[in-house]
């Protein structure tokens, strides 16, 4: 078994078809990407316990008047079996997801380079799917701490390991198209909720009966489905031998001071470079400026446009909230907006990352920061003009650049530090995501609640928030501007590189078989390639269709 999981065992021969690797990565990322879709469980879980009168029991934080009392209610909810959970209680799982994702990726990124993606992918499978099973028991026994432990902590570790498992491998298989390669895989993480959320909703409906919400059964079924997908993906990983390159491709000639390194920086030295911390800031600010708004997309649209969403711009959102019919209609528009943003987030990952292969990574991030800042500033005026179509279009572009930032950063790292340790370096850089996952929502939600308490009209709440986010992007623009090629003394010598490759058991091409011919790629494994891509494209198509149905509300 140890040999079967080893990096040596999964080193491919020269004629292996590299197009088998992206669907393996997508299978993992589509599964763990369901972390984005966990909000579909909040309402059913919040009404899990019913009283004798058929009404939900009070929450553990009932009567809480301030933040400290809410925290006290959450502490009680961890072990109580006689009161319901609030969204505040359950929402901490999101925090655990992305904090643990960044921490686990940073801690075990170096092990990934030594152990290889198959072993790491399998461990991710056991953590993510095992965490779902623990959460299922937590729902069944009504123990919130088991949900936090299962999906939040153990599942969060699985997220981090699964997220970084394909990065280094894909970059080495696609040296000619680094951005496209990482974009294909990371697109899957953005698309996981697009598939998992409607599936989970259907499953809960199927299993629900009487006082049973059907959530724990849904967790069990999802765990079974994801186990199959993630096992197939993990076992499908292969790494290229040293010296492999695509057919008819010649590495571009590199000159001194270019932005693409021809050598490699050791993991232990990468974080000592100014480039690492500038890229950390670039990712953190790009994510911070997007994640807070994306998380509040539905209420933002409803509060900002109010009656314009239901055909009468003179009606304020405060009036809509009081009317059940109008409120439902506005909520449907908000759900459609969320669906559109999800689609642009997903397609932005593959679109922008692929474009960066031609534009260059630095220029691509310049576009993210400058265009994003312009769009946020423009949005403040579009609100006043009540231009719904242009407002929605602006945030769809912003969402695409938010996703594109995730997909482009691994290729940017490979350009700066070489490919030998890029997976581990990427893992450490993901602590920027963990930071942004707290910073962005805190800024947006704090400013929103403060202005709401001050009595600011709903349609004027978000204008200063947009300006703060635009300022974040301008700081990111400056950080990206300061990035220069890594200094020579940080790179490994040829002897040091050879030693590292021996430590991680990398194999070279044998008997001069350095040729990976285009003919071989076309002739070998063709049926297997088609089956592998069908395995991931069919559920992606289902997710896109489900999302478009929700988004159509905006145009109907």
Task: Flag whether pLDDT at 513 surpasses 60.
Answer: no
Q: Is residue 60 part of a domain?
A: no
Task: Flag whether pLDDT at 524 surpasses 90.
Answer: no
User: If you compute the radius of gyration of the chain from its CA atoms, what whole number of angstroms results?
Assistant: 24
Q: How far apart are CA 462 and CA 128, in angstroms?
A: 36
- Output the six-digit token pair for 49: 């316990």
Reported as a pLDDT band with limits 50, 70 and 90, residue 307 is: confident
User: Does residue 242 or residue 54 have the better pLDDT?
Assistant: 242
Q: 């929700």: which residue's tokens?
A: 550
Q: Is residue 291 part of a domain?
A: yes
Mean pLDDT of all residues in 116-124: 94
Last residue of a domain, one of 441, 472, 491: 491
CB 56 within 8 A of CB 49: yes
Q: Is residue 340 part of a domain?
A: yes
Q: Do 292 and 157 belong to one domain?
A: no
Mean pLDDT rounded to a whole number for the chain: 87
Mean pLDDT of all residues in 336-363: 91
CB 427 within 8 A of CB 106: yes
Own/partner pairs for 47-56, CB < 8 Å, 24+ apart?
Answer: 47/84, 47/213, 48/84, 48/85, 48/139, 48/142, 48/213, 48/215, 49/82, 49/83, 49/84, 49/142, 50/211, 56/84
Q: How far apart are CA 467 and CA 306, in angstroms?
A: 21
Return the closest-CA partner of residue 156 out of 108, 114, 215: 108
CB 40 within 8 A of CB 200: yes
Task: Flag whether pLDDT at 308 surpasses 50.
Answer: yes
Q: How far apart are CA 173 and CA 182, in angstroms?
A: 11
Q: Is residue 509 part of a domain?
A: no
Q: 């609640």: which residue's tokens?
A: 449
Entry pTM: 0.86
Q: Do 284 and 406 belong to one domain?
A: yes
User: Does residue 280 or residue 86 have the better pLDDT?
Assistant: 280
Q: Is residue 61 part of a domain?
A: no
Q: What pLDDT does 222 receive?
A: 96
Q: Do 271 and 202 belong to one domain?
A: no
- Which residues, in sequence order, are CB contacts of 159 under 8 Å at separation 6+? 32, 35, 97, 98, 100, 101, 104, 124, 128
Chain-centroid distance, C-alpha 129: 18
pLDDT tens digits for 188-230? 888 888 888 889 988 998 998 866 788 999 999 999 999 999 9
Question: For the chain, how are helix, strand and coil distributed in percent, rounded to 5?
Answer: 75, 0, 25
Last residue of a domain, one of 491, 509, 536: 491
Q: Do 123 and 210 belong to one domain?
A: yes
Q: Do 400 and 532 belong to one domain?
A: no
Q: How far apart are CA 526 and CA 131, in angstroms?
A: 36
Report the helix count and the strand count for the chain, using DSSP H and E: 24, 0
Q: How far apart are CA 541 and CA 267, in angstroms?
A: 38
Q: Is residue 20 part of a domain?
A: yes
Q: Do 197 and 239 belong to one domain?
A: yes
Return the closest-CA partner of residue 270 out of 108, 418, 117: 418
Last residue of a domain, one of 491, 526, 548: 491
Task: Flag whether pLDDT at 123 surpasses 80.
Answer: yes
Task: Flag whether pLDDT at 519 surpasses 50.
Answer: no
Q: How far apart are CA 275 and CA 492, in angstroms?
A: 16
CATH code where residue 479 lies? 1.20.1250.20
- Which residues, in sequence order, are CB contacts of 538 under 8 Å at separation 6+? none
Q: What pLDDT does 512 receive?
A: 44
Mean pLDDT of all residues in 334-340: 81
Q: How far apart are CA 380 and CA 375, in angstroms?
A: 9
Range of the domain at 395: 265-491
pLDDT tens digits for 162-180? 999 888 889 989 988 989 9
Share of the chain above pLDDT 90, in %: 44
Residue 174 phi/psi, 5-degree rounding, is -125, 60
Q: Do 486 and 525 belong to one domain?
A: no
Q: Do 465 and 524 belong to one domain?
A: no
pLDDT tens digits for 458-468? 888 899 999 99
Question: How many residues comprise the chain?
Answer: 556
SS3 62: coil
Return the closest-CA partner of residue 57 out of 77, 82, 36, 37: 82
Reported as a pLDDT band with limits 50, 70 and 90, residue 541 is: very high
Mean pLDDT of all residues in 35-59: 81
Reported as a pLDDT band with limits 50, 70 and 90, residue 514 is: very low
Mean pLDDT of all residues in 427-431: 94
Task: Flag whether pLDDT at 413 surpasses 90.
Answer: yes
SS3 59: strand
pLDDT tens digits for 351-410? 999 999 999 999 999 999 999 999 999 998 888 787 888 999 999 999 999 999 999 999
Q: Do 230 and 340 belong to one domain?
A: no
Q: Do 550 and 477 belong to one domain?
A: no
Q: How far apart are CA 337 and CA 343, in angstroms?
A: 10
Q: Do 460 and 424 belong to one domain?
A: yes
Q: Is residue 488 classed exposed, middle or buried when 0-12, 13-18 and 19+ CB atoms within 10 A define those classes?
A: exposed
> How many domains does the chain fold into?
2
Q: Do 523 and 487 belong to one domain?
A: no
CB 516 within 8 A of CB 246: yes
Q: How far apart are CA 184 and CA 536, in angstroms?
A: 11
User: Does residue 534 or residue 510 have the better pLDDT?
Assistant: 534
Cα dihedral 400, 356, 98, 369, rounded to 10, equals -60
Q: Is residue 504 part of a domain?
A: no
Q: Is residue 556 part of a domain?
A: yes
Instruction: Read off the DSSP letter of residue 259.
Output: S
Reported as a pLDDT band with limits 50, 70 and 90, residue 120 is: very high
């Amino acid at each position: 078994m140890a040999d079967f999981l080893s990096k040596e065992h999964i080193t491919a021969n020269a004629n292996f078809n590299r197009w088998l690797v992206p669907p393996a990565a997508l299978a993992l990322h589509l599964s763990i990407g369901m972390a984005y879709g966990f909000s579909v469980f909040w309402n059913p879980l919040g009404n899990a316990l019913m009283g004798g009168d058929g009404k939900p029991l009070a929450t553990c934080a009932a009567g809480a008047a301030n933040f400290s009392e809410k925290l006290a209610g959450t502490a009680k909810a961890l072990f109580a079996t006689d009161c319901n959970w609030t969204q505040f209680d359950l929402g901490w799982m999101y925090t655990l997801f992305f904090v643990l994702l960044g921490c686990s990726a940073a801690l075990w990124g170096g092990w990934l380079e030594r152990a290889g993606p198959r072993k790491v992918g399998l461990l991710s499978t056991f953590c993510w799917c095992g965490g779902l099973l623990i959460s299922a028991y937590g729902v069944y026994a009504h123990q919130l701490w088991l949900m936090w432990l299962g999906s939040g902590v153990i599942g969060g570790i699985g997220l981090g390991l699964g997220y970084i498992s394909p990065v280094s491998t894909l970059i080495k298989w696609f040296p000619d198209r680094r951005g496209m390669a990482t974009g294909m895989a990371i697109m899957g993480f953005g698309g996981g909720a697009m598939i998992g959320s409607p599936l989970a909703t259907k499953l809960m409906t199927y299993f629900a009966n009487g006082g049973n919400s059907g959530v724990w059964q849904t967790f069990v079924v999802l765990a079974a489905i994801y186990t199959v997908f993630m096992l197939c993906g993990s076992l499908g990983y292969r790494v290229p031998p040293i010296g492999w390159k695509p057919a008819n491709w010649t590495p571009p000639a590199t000159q001194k001071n270019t932005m693409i390194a021809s050598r490699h920086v050791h993991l232990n030295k990468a974080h000592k470079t100014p480039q690492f911390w500038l890229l950390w800031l670039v990712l953190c600010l790009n994510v911070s400026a997007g994640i807070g708004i994306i998380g509040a997309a539905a209420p933002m649209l409803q509060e900002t446009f109010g009656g314009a969403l239901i055909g009468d711009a003179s009606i304020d959102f405060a009036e809509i909230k009081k009317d059940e019919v109008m409120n439902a209609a506005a909520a449907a528009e908000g759900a459609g907006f969320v669906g559109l943003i999800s689609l642009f987030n997903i397609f932005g990952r593959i679109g922008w990352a692929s474009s960066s292969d031609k534009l260059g990574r630095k220029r691509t991030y310049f576009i993210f920061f400058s265009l994003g800042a312009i769009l946020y500033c423009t949005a403040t005026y579009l609100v006043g003009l009540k231009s719904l179509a242009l407002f929605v279009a602006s945030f769809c572009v912003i969402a695409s650049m938010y996703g594109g930032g995730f997909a482009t950063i691994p290729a940017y790292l490979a350009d700066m530090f070489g490919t030998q340790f890029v997976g581990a370096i990427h893992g450490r850089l993901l602590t920027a995501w963990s930071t942004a996952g707290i910073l962005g929502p805190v800024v947006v939600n704090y400013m929103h609640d403060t202005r709401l308490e001050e009595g600011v009209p709903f349609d004027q709440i978000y204008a200063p928030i947009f300006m703060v986010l635009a300022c974040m992007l301008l700081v990111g623009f400056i950080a990206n501007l300061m990035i220069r090629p890594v200094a020579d003394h940080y790179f490994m010598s040829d002897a040091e590189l050879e030693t590292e490759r021996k430590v991680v058991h990398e194999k070279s091409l044998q008997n001069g078989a350095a040729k990976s011919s285009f003919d071989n790629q076309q002739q070998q494994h063709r049926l297997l390639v088609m089956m592998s891509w069908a395995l991931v494209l069919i559920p992606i198509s289902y997710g896109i269709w489900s999302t478009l149905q929700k988004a159509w509300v905006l145009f109907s």
